[in-house]
């Protein structure tokens, strides 16, 4: 369940197009590459100084968190720009920071590349089929003179960018969930020991860090639910090639990287556990992901009543309002 990026501050950064690039390699040459420590460090041309008050920071703040950073570059043979990547929930610094020790130096000169943007994720769109082109004549032919702009500068463009980014994330989420549900169906049922105190594992998905979900845990939760839908046991599906009704696993507390990291680091709890997984028919499951807010609210309320005690048993004390917030309801 991805968050709606339109609620976040936005910074659009123009790469590889300044005068410096006519003769030399700019510090942004590593912006789209994952560093050895797993993070992405971004340089913001032309001087790595960013007015973060335009990103909802206070005047004296050193940095601001939760920023969506979009990287663009010139399209071939044109001054229009193409979105080539974006980072969610980035930390953006007012002043550039030294890149010494990060193994981000320009080979020709050995110069260390500074950075003002840090994120643990990056969605690379350079090979993505559906391109988003910013036609500068529709807005301002000088809009990239400073090689960046902030949300609010071009409100109509902001709306289009957010719609595009959210659609990319939605497709990623669908593809990831389809893979996970397939793994669940292929897994054989076996008794699983409580893993709520086992450190979660992470993997690098489409440029982003994600939880490496254990399909056997979900399979166990579905089997113990009798292969029935938690919303209504009368909901019928079909029998799988294993001879059991088809049901899907859903984490009541969405098993995102940020949620998993928070619960593990703050509470020592792995949310990829049976007590956080419900068995749902495909219709109810899709309703959570694609239904109206009112329909989602009704389902989440029902599931909360069913699972609240189970969550408490593993040390998760979560109010209904807090759960609704996780679904942006």
Domain boundary among 136, 167, 198: 167
**Does the residue 92 lie in any domain?**
yes
Residue whose pair of structure tokens reads 């300044």 in the numeric block: 18
Is there a single domain that holds both residue 47 and residue 151? yes
The tally of domains found in the chain comes to 2
Is there a single domain that holds both residue 125 and residue 214? no
Is there a single domain that holds both residue 138 and residue 49? yes
CB atoms within 10 A of CB 139: 15
**Does the residue 175 lie in any domain?**
no
Is there a single domain that holds both residue 18 and residue 153? yes
CB atoms within 10 A of CB 229: 23
**Does the residue 172 lie in any domain?**
no
**CATH number (domain holding residue 24):** 3.10.590
**Does the residue 89 lie in any domain?**
yes
Task: Spell out the per-residue pLDDT of the chain, length 329, in tens.
Answer: 456 788 899 999 999 876 666 566 778 889 999 998 889 999 999 889 999 999 999 999 999 999 999 999 999 999 999 999 999 999 999 999 988 888 888 877 778 889 999 998 999 999 999 999 999 999 999 999 999 999 999 999 999 999 999 999 888 888 889 999 999 999 998 888 999 999 999 887 656 678 999 999 999 999 999 999 999 999 999 999 999 999 999 999 999 888 999 999 999 999 999 999 999 999 999 999 889 999 999 999 999 999 999 999 999 999 999 999 999 88
Cβ-based neighbours of 59, under 8 Å, separated by 6 or more: 53
Is there a single domain that holds both residue 108 and residue 246? no
pTM, whole model, 2 decimals?
Answer: 0.81
Is there a single domain that holds both residue 135 and residue 200? no
Cβ-based neighbours of 148, under 8 Å, separated by 6 or more: 11, 12, 13, 14, 44, 45, 50
Domain boundary among 120, 139, 167: 167
Looking at residue 172, its pLDDT comes to: 86
Is there a single domain that holds both residue 159 and residue 226? no
Whole-angstrom Cα distance, residue 148 to residue 9? Answer: 13
Is there a single domain that holds both residue 267 and residue 214? yes
- The parent domain of residue 308 ranges over 187-326
Domain boundary among 103, 138, 167: 167
**Does the residue 174 lie in any domain?**
no
**Does the residue 179 lie in any domain?**
no
**Does the residue 102 lie in any domain?**
yes
Cα–Cα–Cα angle for 156, 157, 161, rounded to 5 degrees: 125
Is there a single domain that holds both residue 25 and residue 154? yes
**Does the residue 266 lie in any domain?**
yes
Is there a single domain that holds both residue 79 and residue 122? yes
SS3 assignment for the chain? CCCCHHHCCEEEEECCCCHHHHCCCCHHHHCCCECCCCCEEECCCCCCECCHHHHCCCCCCCEEEEEEEEEEEECCCCCCEEEEEEEEEEEEEEEEECCCCCCCECCCCCCECCEEEEECECEECCCCCCCCEECHHHCCCCCCCCCEEECCCCHHHHHHHHHHHHHHHHHHHHHHHHHHHHHHHHCCCCCCCCCCCCCCCEEECCCEEEECCCHHHHHHHHHHCCCCCCCCCCCCCCECCCCCECCEEEECCCCCHHHHHHHHHHHCCCCCCHHHEEEECHHHHHHHHHCCHHHHHHHHHHHHHHHHHHHHHCCCCCCHHHHHHHCCC
Looking at residue 20, its pLDDT comes to: 60
Is there a single domain that holds both residue 146 and residue 243? no
Looking at residue 190, its pLDDT comes to: 86
Is there a single domain that holds both residue 145 and residue 257? no
């Amino acid at each position: 369940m991805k968050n709606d990026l339109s609620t976040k501050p936005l910074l659009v950064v123009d790469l590889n197009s300044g005068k410096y690039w006519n003769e030399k390699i700019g510090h942004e040459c590593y912006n789209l590459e994952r560093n050895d420590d797993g993070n992405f460090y971004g340089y913001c041309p032309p001087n790595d100084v960013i007015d973060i008050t335009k990103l909802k920071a206070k005047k004296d703040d050193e940095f601001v968190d939760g920023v969506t950073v979009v990287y663009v570059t010139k399209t071939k043979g044109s001054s229009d720009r193409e979105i080539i990547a974006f980072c969610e929930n980035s930390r953006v610094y007012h002043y550039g920071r030294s890149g010494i020790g990060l193994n981000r130096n320009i080979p020709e000169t050995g110069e260390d590349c500074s950075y003002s943007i840090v994120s643990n994720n990056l969605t690379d769109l350079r090979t993505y089929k559906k391109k988003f082109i910013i036609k500068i004549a529709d807005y301002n032919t000088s809009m990239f003179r400073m090689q960046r702009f902030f949300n609010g500068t071009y409100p109509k463009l902001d709306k289009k960018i957010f719609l595009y980014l959210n659609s990319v994330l939605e497709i990623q989420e669908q593809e990831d969930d389809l893979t996970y549900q397939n793994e669940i169906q292929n897994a054989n049922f076996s008794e699983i020991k409580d893993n709520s105190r086992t450190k979660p594992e992470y993997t690098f998905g489409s440029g982003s860090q994600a939880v490496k979900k254990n399909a056997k845990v979900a399979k166990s939760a579905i089997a113990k639910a009798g292969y029935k839908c938690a919303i209504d046991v009368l909901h019928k599906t079909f029998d799988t090639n294993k001879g059991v009704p088809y049901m899907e696993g859903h984490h009541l507390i969405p098993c995102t990287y940020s949620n998993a990291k928070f619960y593990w680091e703050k509470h020592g709890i792995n949310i990829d556990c049976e007590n956080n997984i419900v068995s749902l028919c495909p219709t109810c499951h899709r309703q959570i992901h694609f239904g109206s807010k009112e329909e989602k609210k009704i389902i989440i309320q029902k599931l909360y009543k069913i699972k609240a005690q189970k969550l408490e048993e593993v040390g998760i004390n979560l109010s209904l309002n807090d759960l609704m917030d996780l679904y942006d309801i």
